[in-house]
Amino acid sequence: MDTGKVTIHDIARRLNIDSSTVSRALNDSPRVSQKTKDKISEMAQSMGYQRNLMASNLRKNVSNSIGVVVPRISRHFFSSVIQGIEETAYNTGYSVFICQSLEELERERNIIKTLVANRVDGVLISISMETSNYDHFQLLNKQGVPYVFFDRHCDIVGNNNVIINDFKGGYDATKHLISKGCKSIIHFSGPGHLEIYKNRLGGYKEALIDSGFPFKEEHVISSKLMESDGIGIIKSLLEKGVEFDGIFCANDHVAIGAIKFMNNLGIKIPEEVAIVGFNNEPVSNVITPSLTTIHQPGFEMGIKAAELLIKNMKNQNGIFTSETIMMDTNLIERNSSRR
């Protein structure tokens, strides 16, 4: 079957030499003379040769690519991480497969399978909200594909992780509200099985206790942290007559929903209720009042995660190490808590 595409054999035939010499020349091997190299690369150029990576990779048994699995690329945080990953990958000659689980476990499973079938050399994963079962990652172990979790990780030991210090983020956010005089602080938490939300909650709890405030179960409300959840939660809190003067939200979206709704009700932010988000999404600086939030170094995280993965990919003497890199957050004070 003639595909119309030029191969090293075509070049070899034209120059009346062997295809192995062409291959070596194009790879700048010392086993080919400069004169021949020049002749070959000129011919390759003029014939419009493009190396077939599928063939090359098959032979070399690598793919020179890494897979990235995120819940959604549209989330600012994830797209900055991806930026960082691509930066490192680009500099080290890897190409990047970006995949979205859309927060669905089923898709996450399929993605892992496809990545394995495509023989990626490594995988970077931030798990979906639905992911509470980790069996599908065993496929990576079985196939000897190194992988690193970033941000949303699993509570399994022996993994490689690059994570945010969510505990400190939650702690700082809560302490900040306390320092602003809040006496009764609600926490909008995420799905309970996700480590990051457990840790943010943990930080919240400890900050309360450290400051001599009681921790109340009923002050923690879990949801999927969508904008609409913010509205619903505020509504039901008011209906139940729960008193509060501060909210720490586990992400910015749910905070935005809450702010919009409270703005409509005429509840004054930050005077009556101060609010802190998490993620530093671009919207957080656009809403009125602007939202105090916890910044996560997404770009740097991407770089670190890719570096850790590549380190593991090179270290293919069968010895897998496990390492967890924790990255620091910082609080950005804006008007939603400035008083």
Residue 84, both tokens: 């960082």
Taking the complex as a whole, how short is the minimal distance between the CB of residue 63 and a second copy, in angstroms? 7
Q: Which does residue 48 touch among a second copy, DNA, none (CB within 5 to 8 A, set by kind)? A: a second copy
In whole angstroms, give the CA distance from residue 234 to residue 121: 46
For residue 315, the minimal CB distance to a second copy (Å) is 15
Report the alpha-carbon angle 327-275-292, nearest 5. Answer: 50
Q: Which residue's CB is nearer to DNA, number 44 or number 308?
A: 44
For a second copy, the closer CB: 143 or 236: 143
338 binds, among a second copy, DNA, none (CB under 5 to 8 A by kind): none
For tokens 């979205």, what's the residue? 100
**214 is an interface residue for a second copy by CB under 8 A:** no
The minimum distance between CB 99 and DNA, in angstroms, equals: 22
Sheet hosting strand 246-249, strand order edge to edge: 220-222, 185-189, 246-249, 274-276
Tell me how far apart the alpha carbons of residues 188 and 232 are, in angstroms, rounded to a whole number: 11
Choose from a second copy, DNA, none: what does 283 bind? Cβ within 5-8 Å by kind.
Answer: a second copy
Q: How many CB atoms lie within 10 A of CB 163?
A: 21
Give whichever of 30 and 93 is closer to DNA, judged by the CB atom. 30
Asked if residue 69 lies in contact with residue 78, where contact means CB atoms within 8 angstroms, the answer is no
**Out of 14, 39, 76, 193, which residue is the one contacting a second copy (CB under 8 A)?**
76
Which one of 20, 114, 236, 321 is in contact with a second copy (CB under 8 A)?
A: 114
Among 13, 14, 26, 264, binds DNA (CB under 7 A): 26
43-102: which residues touch DNA (CB under 7 A)? Answer: 49, 51-52, 55-56, 58-61
d(C-alpha 20, C-alpha 23), whole Å: 5
Alpha carbon of residue 95 to chain centroid? 17
Tell me if 35 contacts DNA by CB under 7 A.
Answer: yes
Binding site partner of 288, from DNA, a second copy, none, Cβ cut-off 5-8 A by kind: a second copy
According to CB under 8 A, which one of 61, 212, 214, 319 is a site residue for a second copy?
Answer: 61
CB of 163 to a second copy, least distance (A): 22
Cβ nearer to a second copy, comparing 86 with 151: 86
Pairing of strands 95-100, 65-70: parallel
Selected from 95, 133, 236, 322, the binder of a second copy by CB under 8 A is 95
Q: Which two tokens stand for residue 281?
A: 């999404």
Quote the CA–CA distance of 135 and 109 in Å, as a whole number. Answer: 9
Residue 289 identity (one-letter amino acid): P
* Separation CA 291–CA 335 (nearest Å): 6
Q: Residue 250 has what DSSP assignment?
A: S
The H-or-E segment that residue 298 falls in is: helix 298-314
- Interatomic CA distance for residues 37 and 322, integer angstroms: 44
Q: Give residues 148-207 in contact with a second copy (rule: CB under 8 A).
A: none
Candidates 20, 27, 118, 179; binder of a second copy (CB under 8 A) is 118
First to last CA, the chain: 74
- Site residues, DNA (CB under 7 A): 1, 3, 5, 7-9, 16-21, 23-24, 26-27, 30-36, 49, 51-52, 55-56, 58-61
**Which residue ranges make up the site for a second copy (CB under 8 A)?**
1, 3-5, 48, 50-55, 57-58, 61, 63, 72-74, 76, 79-80, 82-83, 86, 95, 97-98, 100, 113-114, 116-119, 139, 142-144, 256, 260, 282-283, 286-288
